[in-house]
Amino acid sequence: MTDTRSTAKVDPILTAVLDSRFSSIVDQVAGAMMRTSMSPIFAEARDIAAGLFDRNLRLIAQRDWLPVLASNLSVAIQEIAGYFGDDLHEGDVIVHNDPYGRNSHTPDINVAKPIFHNGEIVFWAVAKGHHVDVGGRGLCGYDPTARTTWDDGIIIKPSKLYAAGVYNRSIWDFLKSNTKIPALVEADLNCQVGACTVGERGLLALVEQYGVDPIYSCLDELMDATERGLRHKITQLADGVYLGEKAFDDDAVDRGKPVTVRAKVTVAGSDITVDLSESDPQVPSFLNSTWGNTFSVANMAVLYFAEGDTKRNDGALRPIHLITKKGTCVDPEFPAATTMCTCTMTETIFEAVTLALAPAKPDWATGAHGKMSMHISTGINPRTQRFFANLDFVTCSDGSGGTAGYDGWAEGGPSHTMGQLRQPDPEIMELVTPTVVWQNELIGGREGIGKYRGGMGATYKLQYLADVNAAEVGQGHAEWAVPFGLFGGGNPPPCRPRIKHADGTVTPILINTFWDPKAGDTYEQEMQGGAGWGDPLERDPALVLKDVLDEFLTADDAREKYGVVVTGGDQPQVDAAATTAERAKRTK
Digit-coded pLDDT (tens) for 495-540: 999 999 999 999 999 999 999 999 999 999 999 999 999 999 999 9
- Per-residue pLDDT tens over the stretch 448-502: 999 999 999 999 999 999 999 999 999 999 999 999 999 999 999 999 999 999 9
Measured CA to CA, the distance from residue 411 to residue 400 in angstroms comes to 7
Task: Identify which of 371, 417, 396 has the alpha carbon closest to the alpha carbon of residue 248.
Answer: 371
Are 37 and 192 a contacting pair, CB within 8 Å? no
Q: How far apart are CA 360 and CA 261, in angstroms?
A: 20
Helix (H) / strand (E) element for 321: namely strand 320-323
Q: Is 405 left (phi over 0), alpha (psi -120 to 50) or beta?
A: left
From CA 302, how far away is CA 314, in angstroms rounded?
15
Q: How many whole angstroms separate alpha carbon 193 and alpha carbon 29?
A: 10
Return phi, psi of residue 277, to 5°. Answer: -70, -15
Residues 6+ apart with CB under 8 A from 127: 29, 30, 32, 33, 48, 50, 110, 111, 112, 192, 193, 195, 196, 199
Burial of 231 (0-12, 13-18, 19+ CB in 10 A): middle
**Angstrom distance (rounded) from CA 214 to CA 10:** 7
pLDDT lower than 70: segments of the chain? 1-8
Res 1: pLDDT: 41
Q: For helices 73-84 and 291-305, what crossing angle results, to 10°?
A: 140
pLDDT for residue 117: 97
